[in-house]
Amino acid sequence: MDAGNMFWRLFLINFLITLGFGIADAFFSMYLFSLGARGTLLALPLVLYSLAKVFIGPLIGRWTDRVGGVEGVVMSLFLYLLVSVGYFLTDNLASITALRILQGVSCAMFRPIIFGLVGRCCSRGRRSTVMGTFDISFYGALSLGPVLGGILKDHLGYRGVFAAIVAVCLVALLVIIYRAPSQLRYTVKSETAQAEGGEFRRLICHRGLQGLLAFIFGRACGISLSAVFLPIVLSTQLGLTGTQTGMVMAASTFVVAVALRPAGLLADKVPRKTLVVVGGTVVPLLYLLIPMMPGFSQVLMLVLGIGFFSALSQPASSALLLEEGSRFGMGSTVGTFNSVLNLGFISGPLLGVGIQQSCGLPAVFIVAGCLGLVTMALFVVTMTAEAWRPKFVRERK
């Protein structure tokens, strides 16, 4: 089996897993509420899921550097399948909380391994194109999941939703098991040990990775703040209908999915860091304009711009992350990256609630924009410092 066939197999698996749990996650809080969860019991499974990805991510990532390859994907998909079967069989809140934590562990395992496998499917000069194309599987499924979930919930109830996840996980597991290519049964550490050893301390001290971590933290905060507070602005301040609000909220994800491959092609022809800087600067500036929008058409165009410039930086940053992974181990690098990403998703809403209560709703987007600009400045500073370092210093480190 050639690299192209393996890429599309991984594309399908990532689409299926994102679609399956996207179906459930859109209605997960409603499901907990229907079981009688209130207050802490309602928030606990959601919070522990995110915390599991934050704290377990680097540890699981280092472990996947020793497992690696198709075997690691099979193990993570098997965990996903166990989680989905558990959701289908139980309605006990304690059991659901434990399953939610296990889902976080599965996610922390799945992403680094599949990221490394996709990286092996492309040459150095095509990394951005390949990663941009691959991320379509994520954003396409993310936009489709809530729609399918709503249809299943209306016609088959929550059991129908969880049955669909079981089926999706089972299909994904069969896709990777069937005629898995022997050349991808490898250990990531055997490739990276000759590079820089993969020690975690040296990984987090590397300025190139520090810049990427600053960028993704600011981006995640902005995304989570928008997801929570933009619907409130659209309904309370602009008076948009439910349909109009839905169109605005879906517009950014749709544009990202459409623009990812062209952005990847572009990132393989121009400096990747430049695209990250352009996209990572324009998006926070557009956040600053959200409170000033007077109506539906204006805010829709603004959100479309946010989606376009987000897509512009996505493949370039993924290719830069692959470069860091080739130095320190793909699992350790992507695991740390995903932990910071999820930390941003947690921090954004918490920060936004405090700002909204003390300074008002418009201030939330002003802070989101300023935070994005600050983290982008950190990206520029760290990347510039790394580029200007004397060559012998970089080699000694």
What pLDDT, in 10s, does the model give residues 10-30?
899 999 999 988 888 777 877
User: Distance between the two ends of the chain, CA-based, in angstroms?
Assistant: 38
pLDDT at position 65: 67
Domain span including residue 237 = 200-396
314 in any annotated domain: yes
- Residue 127: other Cβ atoms inside 10 A: 24
Q: What pLDDT is attached to residue 386?
A: 64
- Identify whether 269 is part of a domain: yes
pLDDT tens figures, 159-183: 888 999 999 999 999 988 876 554 4
- 212 & 342 share domain: yes
361 and 240, same structural domain?
yes
Strands (E), 171-267: none
Does 185 have pLDDT greater than 60? no
Same domain, yes or no: 214 and 157:
no
What is the tally of structural domains in the chain? Answer: 2
| The pLDDT of residue 392 | 43
Query: Cβ atoms within 10 A of the Cβ of 228, count?
Result: 15
Q: What is the CATH number of the domain that holds 360?
A: 1.20.1250.20
Cα–Cα distance between 368 and 363 in angstroms, integer? 8
What is the pTM (predicted TM-score) of this model? 0.80
Task: Label residue 195 by pLDDT band (50, 70, 90).
Answer: very low
| Tokens coding 385 | 């410092």
Domain closes at, from 186, 213, 237? 186
> Dihedral of the CA atoms 220, 222, 228, 233 (nearest 10)?
-170
Mean pLDDT across the chain, nearest whole number?
A: 81
CA distance 63 to 284: 35
